[in-house]
Amino acid sequence: MSHGGNIYQFARRLGCLPEQVLDFSANINPVQAVDLTCLLKVQLTPYADPDYSLLKQAINQRYPTPEGIDIELFNGASAAIFALLRGLQPKDVVLYAPLYGEYAHIAGKLGCQVHSINRFNHLKADIPERSTVIFVNPSTPDGQLYDMQDLLARWQAADCTTIIDESFLDFCETDSVAGHIKHYNKLYVIKSLSKFYGCAGIRIGFVLAETAAIKELQRLEPAWKLSSLDMAYMRQALANTAFIEQTRQQTAHLRDLLHHALQDSGLFDKIYPGQANFLLARLANGEASAPAHAPRLRPVGDGYQLQTLLEPSRILIRVCDNFEGLDKSHVRFAVKDEQAIARLSRSLKEIRL
Amino acid sequence: MSHGGNIYQFARRLGCLPEQVLDFSANINPVQAVDLTCLLKVQLTPYADPDYSLLKQAINQRYPTPEGIDIELFNGASAAIFALLRGLQPKDVVLYAPLYGEYAHIAGKLGCQVHSINRFNHLKADIPERSTVIFVNPSTPDGQLYDMQDLLARWQAADCTTIIDESFLDFCETDSVAGHIKHYNKLYVIKSLSKFYGCAGIRIGFVLAETAAIKELQRLEPAWKLSSLDMAYMRQALANTAFIEQTRQQTAHLRDLLHHALQDSGLFDKIYPGQANFLLARLANGEASAPAHAPRLRPVGDGYQLQTLLEPSRILIRVCDNFEGLDKSHVRFAVKDEQAIARLSRSLKEIRL
């Protein structure tokens, strides 16, 4: 199951409804900033404003950018990646892996030469001059938050076009690199709004870049692409400023709970120190010894076996073997609410090996 | 104002709200098949089913197609046209004009050689062998319904790739040409759902083609592109089968009213016999004589002058000079409700020349 699992297939196999699945596989905030009643006044008949002025205003209020930096909206970050790479037509694409599989997938389809750098071991590896670099910060599936200053300087020195995906940055206190665009005109920022705002069903994402670069990107875009319902929802979600700090605090607290649940299960010999709304963990293989304070390790085989063992509890998890540099001992868990984490914790402990 | 007008610009200029504009410029059914309360149970958190199974089922129920014909969904017909032409990469594109400007616009951007055929005078003109033909049926901005049998045979004989846009066909009793795909594997049908279902704010359109052609089209599509809200709305709208016949009857009745209103105004010397939810009319230039039963003709200048004269009534109309083969004496009016038509009728009559 790529793309953070497919609860629909999973539910069909278990003979239950998708909403009965406890989905730890998709890293989406389980809390929303507004409820659906905000949609009842939307005017569906007319075409939306083709400039998306009100939505852009709301985005600009939430993510202010200096003069000379512009925005292009897309029906989701996945559409934005496609449009951006199609527009840039890079010969060489450098991916800092592991990362969201869609990047390699799209670069491959577009016929780019894909170079992969393992950011765990070779963060400072040399890169081809004038290549197109793609970096996700905080990263997925491990949630590491990187200090971008040095990296940006190195990519700029190599005259690279640089794409930074900040879809999970809202979970951290850190500033966007968008401010650098005015000194580095080959820098692009991609952002999905669905992760932080808890709405994968809403298809809105955007690209920030220098005004001329955005103009070029718009050249091959259709006249209308965003749903009026999605726009109305997102405008109101973005306006809920209290939600930002609440979500950060709540996520940090729940991530701690999840960390304990994973550690206490004795199934994992490593839990990555993630800063976003998910945690990557590695299943113990029975060889490594557990840290002194941890319970005895219980090797469970691989992530697929764990997935099967959790099926009776209707819990879906994400095995990370299709992330380059990881294997099927790596499993990702989204940060969910207390009740869900308690259920996961119980199910992990009840696994009889 | 291209694309059927922009009520937002118009409202800003008049200093009123967009919803106070009486918009005759956009050919969107003013009636909806379902109301927005149908959205309140939508689950926004999870990703939508990446196969869009339920929506495809609903579309297939409403527009049944034989075995071997497949569907690809897009976030609107405009996105579908872009994706289709980008995928086909045609050298020569033949447009039967006048037609929706987006086709020439996109074909031009993609570097195609655009050939234009005036379908009023040269419907049977020769076309380059193996070119890509685009035909809208019923046509816009005049709403003429064509018998496609002979045309399809001629295009197939010339080994053309043929794209038929049936975005307005639901207003007629006529069958789709999709049934021909099984004998003509270079035939594509494009359809927007927003016109008939009265929801330009919902971004869902689709392409029907042979299974292999759809597979090829999907190759360069992002993992997710449709809003869960839009899909939920559309599924329920498609399920309202009573709406189909109601809308056809209602549109035919209101189109007659609109026809009378235009004729009675004495401003037009020609009203095209449209079969869809809009009428194209030509302003009298003061030279032609009116038919005996019509009131004396009152030449008003061009469509832009008429637009200005209707501004105090907050009525927006569509001047058709950016449709190839038409000029600024051509004006299009959407079929709207009785009250709106009565207001238009009054405003047209009150024009003092």
Cβ partners under 8 Å of residue A173, min gap 6: A248
Distance CA A277, CA A91 (A): 34
Beta strands in chain A (DSSP E): 22-23, 69-74, 92-97, 113-118, 132-136, 161-165, 187-192, 205-210, 268-271, 278-283, 315-316, 318-319, 330-334
Q: What is the DSSP letter of B181?
A: G
Do A48 and B201 make contact, defined as CB atoms within 8 angstroms?
Answer: yes
φ, ψ (nearest 5 deg) of residue B96: -85, 105
Do A201 and B44 make contact, defined as CB atoms within 8 angstroms?
Answer: yes
The runs of H, that is alpha helices, within A74-175 are 77-88, 102-109, 149-157
Residue B282: half-sphere exposure toward Cβ, Cα within 13 Å: 14
Contact by Cβ (8 Å): B53, A12: no
User: Quick check: B167 contacting A, CB < 8 Å?
Assistant: no
Q: What percent of chain B has pLDDT over 70?
A: 95
Q: Given its phi and psi angles, is residue B239 left (phi above 0), alpha (psi -120 to 50 degrees) or beta?
A: alpha
Contact by Cβ (8 Å): B48, B231: yes
Q: Inform me whether the pLDDT recorded for A303 exceeds 70.
A: yes
Q: Inform me whether the pLDDT recorded for A2 exceeds 60.
A: no
pLDDT at A308: 94
**DSSP β-ladder status, A92-97 and A132-136:** parallel
Q: Inform me whether the pLDDT recorded for A292 exceeds 60.
A: no
User: Quick check: B198 contacting A, CB < 8 Å?
Assistant: yes
Give residue for tokens 């498609």: B238
Residues B140-179 pLDDT 10s:
999 999 999 999 999 999 999 999 999 999 999 999 999 9
Do B46 and A40 make contact, defined as CB atoms within 8 angstroms?
Answer: no
Asked which of A3-7, A91-95, B91-95, B144-148 is least confident by mean pLDDT, the reply is A3-7
Distance CA B264, CA B296 (A): 9
Q: 3-class DSSP state for residue A71?
A: strand
A4 falls in which pLDDT band (50, 70, 90)?
Answer: very low
Quick one: closest CA in A to B48, which residue? A201
pLDDT at A1: 38
User: Quick check: B289 contacting A, CB < 8 Å?
Assistant: no
Distance CA B166, CA B164 (A): 6
B223 falls in which pLDDT band (50, 70, 90)?
Answer: confident
Contact by Cβ (8 Å): B58, B235: yes
Q: Inform me whether the pLDDT recorded for B94 exceeds 80.
A: yes
State the burial class of residue A189 (Cβ atoms within 10 Å of its Cβ: 0-12, 13-18, 19+): buried
Do A230 and B227 make contact, defined as CB atoms within 8 angstroms?
Answer: yes
Chain A partners within 8 Å of B39 (Cβ): 36, 39, 229
pLDDT at A5: 54
ipTM (interface pTM): 0.94
B296 falls in which pLDDT band (50, 70, 90)?
Answer: confident
Give the residue from B28, B45, B102, B236 with the most A CB atoms within 10 Å of its CB, the best one to mutate: B45
Do B3 and A226 make contact, defined as CB atoms within 8 angstroms?
Answer: no
Q: Inform me whether the pLDDT recorded for A353 exceeds 80.
A: no
Do B202 and A109 make contact, defined as CB atoms within 8 angstroms?
Answer: no
Q: Inform me whether the pLDDT recorded for A146 exceeds 50.
A: yes
Predicted TM-score (pTM) above 0.90:
yes
User: Quick check: B30 contacting A, CB < 8 Å?
Assistant: yes
Cβ partners under 8 Å of residue A119, min gap 6: A96, A97, A98, A135, A139, A146
Distance CA B187, CA B178 (A): 8
State both tokens at B246.
Answer: 């109601």
Give residue for tokens 């202010």: A64
User: Quick check: B216 contacting A, CB < 8 Å?
Assistant: no
Between A and B, how many residue pairs show a Cβ–Cβ distance under 8 A? Answer: 184
Q: Inform me whether the pLDDT recorded for B1 exceeds 50.
A: no
Q: Inform me whether the pLDDT recorded for B289 exceeds 70.
A: no
Contact by Cβ (8 Å): B230, B55: no
Residues B45-92 pLDDT 10s:
988 888 899 999 999 999 999 899 999 999 999 999 999 999 999 999
CB neighbours of residue B42 within 10 Å: 19
Minimal C-alpha gap between A197 and chain B (Å): 9
Closest Cβ opposite residue A198 in set B3, B42, B45: B45
Do A200 and B46 make contact, defined as CB atoms within 8 angstroms?
Answer: yes
User: Quick check: A84 contacting B, CB < 8 Å?
Assistant: no
Cα→Cα distances B339→B343, B344, B346, Å: 6, 9, 11
pLDDT at A240: 98
Residues A13-52 pLDDT 10s:
999 999 899 999 999 999 999 999 999 999 999 888 888 9
pLDDT at B53: 93
3-state helix, strand, coil in chain B (%, to 5): 35, 15, 45
DSSP class per residue in B45-102: SSPPPTT-HHHHHHHHHHS---TTEEEEEESSHHHHHHHHHHHH--SEEEEEES--TH
Q: What is the mean pLDDT of chain A?
A: 94
If you average pLDDT over residues B235-264, what whole number do you get?
A: 98
Quick one: closest CA in B to A22, which residue? B46
User: Quick check: B287 contacting A, CB < 8 Å?
Assistant: no
Residues A188-228 pLDDT 10s:
999 999 999 999 999 999 999 999 999 999 988 988 899 99
